[in-house]
Chains A and B, each alone.
Chain A
Amino acid sequence: MHVPDGFINAPVSLATGAVAASAVAVCLRGARRELDERAAPLAGLVAAFIFAVQMLNFPVAAGTSGHLLGGALAAILVGPYTGVLCISVVLLMQGVLFADGGLTALGVNITDMAVVTTVVAYALFRLLAKALPRRRSSVTAAAFVAALVSVPAAAGAFTLIYALGGTTDVPIGKVATAMVGVHVLIGVGEAVITALTVGAVVAVRPDLVYGARGLAKPLEIRRADGTVVPVEVSKAAPRPVRKIAGVGLVLALALAGFVSYYASTSPDGLEKVAHDKGIDTRTEQHAAKDSPLADYQVKDVGDARLSGGLAGVIGVGATLAVGTGVFVVVRRRRNRAESAAPVSETV
């Protein structure tokens, strides 16, 4: 699903280009932290691997065959940062060298196929790996689910970008059903292949699989008299949460304040379907229709661009405030519960 030129209009192409560039910048820092100066040769070889494995044909039935997309596989094998970099480089080279995917659509392609796929797959994989028992089979199972969801998620992201800046008038509802429907099928194949491949690597070199790092038993020293002493390993410095949060906030504000202007003013897919089918004739107006932010415009501000942008910024601020509030309350309650619980065991 390499998007060609002319499929997405110029402003949205540039905006997704900015998103892709900042994501790649974050991943460059992350990969350097994970791999230090080994980053270039290792990520380069993994990118070559992804490029080669995309050419490996998996026969389905009756002459049809599919191939791996590799986002979930890269995320699980080499980690999310390096994974995003590898897929981005593969997409870049395919665009520049093989004319596969347009140059102006590079931002769309990277955002959609490198960033969304890898991040969704890795987040899901991590969650499942935490929830499932620490065994090899759970790594494979988590890889299956992560790959299964990542492909339709990318299709969903594409639909979103298309809704913002698609140049054709195919209704969003149809695009969403077609894209997600087809990609659920592709996702099943991707999931099977990814799980099998991850399983094959875990069986031979579990130390190479980034996602299976938790499986390694902690280092311990066994003395001659049979006593076992665990080795203290100094923990890595905590991640600079504040910096990440800052970058995220700036990105959200930029998207809400500036890019939202280019969003389609036509009703979204659901509203459109509702309108076409006459479902909405009986629906009442939203209770907040008189609120100063109704329909994402600030009342009493004339300029459409300023008004829409302002509404977006206020929306982000409100969401952030509510989210932080909930988080703080939960955290405080948990802290209180922990301090209230009697300390029963001594170490």
Chain B
Amino acid sequence: MGAGHAHKLYRHARSPVHELPPHCKLAAVFCFVLVVVATPREAVWAFGLYALLLAAVAGAARVPYGFLLRRLLIEVPFVAFALLMPFVVPGEKVGVLGLSLSEPGLWGAWNILAKGTLGVAASVLLAATTELRALLLGLERLRMPPLLVQIASFMIRYGDVVTDEMRRMRIARESRGFTARGVRHWGVLAKSAGALFIRSYERGERVHLAMVSRGYTGVMPVIDDVTATRAQWTHAAALPLAALAVCLTGWTLT
């Protein structure tokens, strides 16, 4: 399970952002998103500044803007929800392009769109500049319970294996002429899911036995301990601190 397990969202590059320790990045992104969420929605300009901050980080990390924009598509279901809002929220109506929309609804839609997009963009940047393993190490450094980190790392390591198993089952079904067309075929698919569970669970048991035979006692040895210097923390803190300044200005002005 060594090489070749970088996730699809990671973009390998050498940049100041890539080289920051993962726990600094995680903390910075989390604080940034929290500050964004706490910003009053009436301060429209503040969100523009946040977007500029993120664009600066993307530039420093050499993440292409096209890549970033493509990844933002994950948000589409909530965009649909936000677009619905001006029609369903009661309140004062304003005429926009011949449509009569409610004003609080427009504010609500703006609020969700702006904050949601910024949050997704920040997470995408984090995933694009941090390797999976580093991410898990970072979570552990941030005092997430080690058992939870272990579960997450097993999930990530075997995620591809289990997904591949599911793909092989699909190919086996299809090569026997099966295509799922409707509710009648749910039984077959559910049996596949059941088989997948049994295979996953049994693989878990085998993995555990293999680990025990190699001396596993319930704790994973820490091989590469990542530490962060004060300078690295300061660099990582630049993003949330700048955002905090914007946020506080937003609160005083509105």
Q: Do A and B bind each other?
A: yes
Report how many A-B pairs have Cβ atoms within 8 Å. 263
User: Which of A51, A104, A167, A198 contacts B41 (CB under 8 A)?
Assistant: A167
Taking the closest CB of chain B, its distance from the CB of A122, in whole angstroms, is 17
Taking the closest CB of chain A, its distance from the CB of B30, in whole angstroms, is 6
Q: List chain B residues, Cβ under 8 A from A77.
A: 197
Q: List chain B residues, Cβ under 8 A from A169.
A: 89-91, 104-105, 108
| In the assembled complex, A193 has its CB within 8 A of some CB on chain B | yes
- Whether A42 and B158, one on each chain, are in contact in the complex, defined by CB atoms closer than 8 angstroms, is no
Interface residue stretch chosen among B54-62, B146-154, B227-235:
B146-154
- List the A residue with the shortest CB-CB distance to B10: A97
- Whether A40 and B127, one on each chain, are in contact in the complex, defined by CB atoms closer than 8 angstroms, is no
Q: List chain A residues, Cβ under 8 A from B120.
A: 4-5, 99, 102
| In the assembled complex, A205 has its CB within 8 A of some CB on chain B | yes
Per-position binary interface string of chain B over residues 181-209, scored 1 when its CB falls under 8 Å from any chain A CB and 0 otherwise: 11101110111111111101101110110
A47–B220 CA distance with the chains assembled, in angstroms? 19
- Whether B154 and A48, one on each chain, are in contact in the complex, defined by CB atoms closer than 8 angstroms, is yes
User: Which of A51, A104, A192 contacts B186 (CB under 8 A)?
Assistant: A192
Q: List chain A residues, Cβ under 8 A from B155.
A: 44-45, 47-48, 51, 86, 89-90, 93
Bin chain A's interface residue count: 35 or more
- Whether A41 and B154, one on each chain, are in contact in the complex, defined by CB atoms closer than 8 angstroms, is yes
Report whether over half of chain B's contact residues are helix, strand or loop; otherwise say mixed: helix
Q: Given known contacts A4-B78, A96-B127, is B193 in contact with A193 (CB within 8 Å)?
A: yes
Per-position binary interface string of chain B over residues 205-216, scored 1 when its CB falls under 8 Å from any chain A CB and 0 otherwise: 101100110001
Per-position binary interface string of chain A over residues 1-22, scored 1 when its CB falls under 8 Å from any chain B CB and 0 otherwise: 0001111011001000000000
Q: Apart from A49-B197, A60-B182, what 11 extra A-B contacts exist at CB < 8 Å?
A: A4-B119, A46-B197, A51-B155, A89-B151, A96-B26, A96-B123, A98-B74, A104-B34, A105-B119, A169-B104, A200-B191
- Whether A37 and B216, one on each chain, are in contact in the complex, defined by CB atoms closer than 8 angstroms, is yes
| In the assembled complex, B162 has its CB within 8 A of some CB on chain A | yes
- Whether B216 and A46, one on each chain, are in contact in the complex, defined by CB atoms closer than 8 angstroms, is no
- List the B residue with the shortest CB-CB distance to A174: B88
A31–B155 CA distance with the chains assembled, in angstroms? 16
Per-position binary interface string of chain B over residues 141-172, scored 1 when its CB falls under 8 Å from any chain A CB and 0 otherwise: 00001011011111111110111011000000
Bin chain B's interface residue count: 35 or more
Q: List chain B residues, Cβ under 8 A from A102.
A: 33, 37, 116, 119-120, 123
Q: Given known contacts A42-B205, A44-B158, A99-B123, is B194 in contact with A200 (CB within 8 Å)?
A: yes
Q: Given known contacts A44-B153, A197-B194, is B183 in contact with A168 (CB within 8 Å)?
A: no
A4–B90 CA distance with the chains assembled, in angstroms? 23
Taking the closest CB of chain B, its distance from the CB of A65, in whole angstroms, is 9
Chain A residues engaging chain B, CB cutoff 8 angstroms: 4-7, 9-10, 13, 24-25, 28, 31-32, 36-49, 51-53, 55-61, 68, 77-78, 85-86, 88-90, 92-93, 95-100, 102-105, 167-171, 174, 192-193, 196-201, 203-205, 208
| In the assembled complex, B36 has its CB within 8 A of some CB on chain A | yes
| In the assembled complex, B133 has its CB within 8 A of some CB on chain A | no
Q: Restricting to B28-56, which residues have a CB under 8 Å from any CB of A?
A: 29-30, 33-34, 36-38, 41
- Whether B111 and A168, one on each chain, are in contact in the complex, defined by CB atoms closer than 8 angstroms, is yes
Per-position binary interface string of chain B over residues 85-114, scored 1 when its CB falls under 8 Å from any chain A CB and 0 otherwise: 100111100000000000011001101101
Taking the closest CB of chain A, its distance from the CB of B84, in whole angstroms, is 9
User: Which of B26, B187, B196, B218 contacts A49 (CB under 8 A)?
Assistant: B196
| In the assembled complex, B174 has its CB within 8 A of some CB on chain A | no
- List the B residue with the shortest CB-CB distance to A8: B37
Q: Restricting to B1-36, which residues have a CB under 8 Å from any CB of A?
A: 7, 9, 26, 29-30, 33-34, 36
Q: Given known contacts A4-B120, A93-B156, A204-B198, is B204 in contact with A42 (CB within 8 Å)?
A: yes
User: Which of A5, A41, A174, A198 contacts B208 (CB under 8 A)?
Assistant: A41
Taking the closest CB of chain A, its distance from the CB of B162, in whole angstroms, is 4
| In the assembled complex, B180 has its CB within 8 A of some CB on chain A | yes
A222–B127 CA distance with the chains assembled, in angstroms? 60
Taking the closest CB of chain A, its distance from the CB of B251, in whole angstroms, is 12
Q: Restricting to B109-133, which residues have a CB under 8 Å from any CB of A?
A: 109, 111-112, 114-116, 118-120, 122-124, 126-127, 132
